[in-house]
């Protein structure tokens, strides 16, 4: 999930390294900088979104350090993952800068009830974390592994589909809410006859639907039909890509689609959100999906707090859904037998906790399957 300090050999010599931390915001960027020729941390305010300004600043600092020390310095830079994405990271890497994207939730913060928070303090905290991480302290923070442009673009269809589904739910609830104010509870906006039904609606007190309200609902239906059309286009393209991948059987997407119970949507999410990258062990795989436990043990107190939920939320949601489907479509598999032996006839919270454990085991099984091709004999495949 994250890179390690040993992977950054270019910053091993801190006496010849310029450390740079960027606090990004929509109005401006604040740069905290530590150079070998200065004892204090420098602060520079730059226009937001101006990558060239960052490069120009680095060029000036490099020239100054070379003039004063006679050594050409390395440059190590970091910023927090967020709304600005990874374009800045790619720009810096293309110009010879060792760039890192930091997981903001991994940074330690002051736990006092009231703590000062400014861009200056945040930038300096980022800089200190970067310098400590470069010295070989892996626990001080976590670095995100930025995807390549192609890997990032491959995620778009499944993420767009999730956004369209949310918009569809919002519009349907809005239309039903408008009808409910008139005592109408049986109107279904997703039915094919929604337009003809709209003209026939009668309020709870026996009146036709008011004309302005009818026009508003019609406009909401226009919006809903546009969302439905876009959703159909995305799903058609997804199914075509999945069919081609399954026929080729050379990609991880096609490999997943050979298993019974895994459809094109879940296979696409897992292939593009999780299995596009390499993991060192099963613990790293589970951590990436946020399915690792988070125990609390202090003195005589010891309890489980559930899973961390610190990883990829889209992948975690797909795995929970797949775990339920696995029980239905793979009833004779070892995982399904394990689940039934642990849960028995229990329902409610016990069953929901067990399904999360099953999702974690299932993720590890699928990871080993797509990496090695080894599949347990008790797992059924599609004909």
**Mean pLDDT value of segment 134-153:** 92
Residue 82: what pLDDT? 92
Q: Is the pLDDT of residue 10 over 50?
A: no
Is residue 139 predicted with pLDDT exceeding 70? Answer: yes
Q: What is the pLDDT of residue 7?
A: 44
SS3 75: strand
Cβ atoms of residues 286 and 309 within 8 Å: no
Give, in order, the Cα–Cα distances in Å from 170 to each of 31, 59, 233, 340, 364: 41, 50, 20, 37, 35
User: Could you give the maximum distance between any two Cα atoms of the chain, in Å?
Assistant: 90
Half-sphere exposure of 159 (CA within 13 A, CB side): 9
pLDDT score, position 13: 57
**Separation between Cα atoms, residue 368 and residue 373, nearest integer Å:** 7
Single out the residue of 241, 282, 268 nearest to residue 162, CA to CA.
268
pLDDT band at 214 (very low <50, low <70, confident <90, very high): very high
- Rounded mean pLDDT, 364-381: 92
pLDDT tens digit sequence for 53-94: 999 999 999 999 999 999 999 999 999 999 999 999 999 999
Residues of the chain above pLDDT 70, percent: 96
Per-residue pLDDT tens over the stretch 247-285: 887 789 999 999 999 999 999 999 999 999 899 999 999
* Whether the predicted pLDDT of 15 surpasses 90: no
Calculate mean pLDDT across residues 223-248.
95
Give 14's pLDDT tier (boundaries 50, 70, 90).
low
Mean pLDDT of 154-168: 96
Mean pLDDT along residues 104-115: 84
What's the mean per-residue pLDDT of the chain? 92
């Amino acid at each position: 999930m994250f890179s390690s300090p040993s992977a950054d050999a270019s910053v091993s010599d801190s006496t010849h390294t310029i450390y740079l931390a960027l606090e990004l915001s929509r109005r401006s960027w604040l740069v905290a900088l530590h150079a070998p020729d200065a004892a204090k941390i420098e602060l520079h305010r730059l226009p937001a979104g101006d990558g060239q300004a960052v490069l120009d600043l680095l060029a000036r600092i490099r020239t100054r350090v070379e003039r004063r020390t006679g050594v050409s310095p390395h440059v190590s830079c970091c910023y927090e993952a967020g709304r600005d994405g990874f374009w800045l990271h790619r720009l810096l890497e293309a110009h010879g800068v060792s760039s890192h994207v930091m997981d903001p939730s991994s940074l330690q913060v002051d736990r006092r009830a009231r703590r000062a928070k400014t861009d200056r303090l945040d930038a300096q905290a980022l800089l200190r974390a970067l310098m400590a991480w470069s010295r070989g302290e892996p626990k001080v923070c976590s670095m995100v592994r930025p995807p390549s442009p192609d890997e990032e673009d491959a995620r778009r269809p499944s993420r767009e589909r999730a956004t369209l589904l949310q918009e569809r739910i919002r519009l349907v609830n809005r239309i039903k809410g408008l009808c409910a104010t008139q005592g109408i509870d049986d109107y279904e906006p997703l039915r094919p006859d929604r337009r003809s039904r709209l003209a026939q609606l009668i309020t709870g007190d026996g009146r036709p639907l008011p004309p302005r309200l009818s026009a508003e609902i019609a406009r909401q239906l226009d919006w809903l039909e546009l969302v439905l059309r876009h959703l159909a286009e995305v799903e058609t393209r997804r199914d075509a890509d999945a069919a081609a991948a399954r026929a080729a059987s050379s990609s991880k997407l096609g490999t997943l689609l050979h298993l019974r119970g895994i459809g094109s949507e879940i296979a696409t999410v897992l292939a593009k959100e999780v299995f596009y990258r390499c993991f060192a062990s099963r613990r790293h795989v589970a951590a990436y999906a946020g399915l690792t436990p988070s125990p609390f043990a202090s003195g005589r107190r010891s309890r489980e707090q559930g899973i961390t939920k610190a990883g990829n939320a889209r992948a975690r949601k797909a795995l929970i859904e797949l775990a339920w489907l696995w029980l239905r479509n793979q009833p004779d598999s070892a995982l399904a037998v394990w689940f039934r032996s642990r849960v028995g006839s229990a329902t409610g919270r016990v069953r929901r906790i067990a399904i999360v454990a099953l999702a974690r085991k299932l993720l590890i099984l699928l990871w080993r399957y797509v990496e090695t091709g080894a599949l347990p004999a008790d797992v059924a495949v599609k004909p």
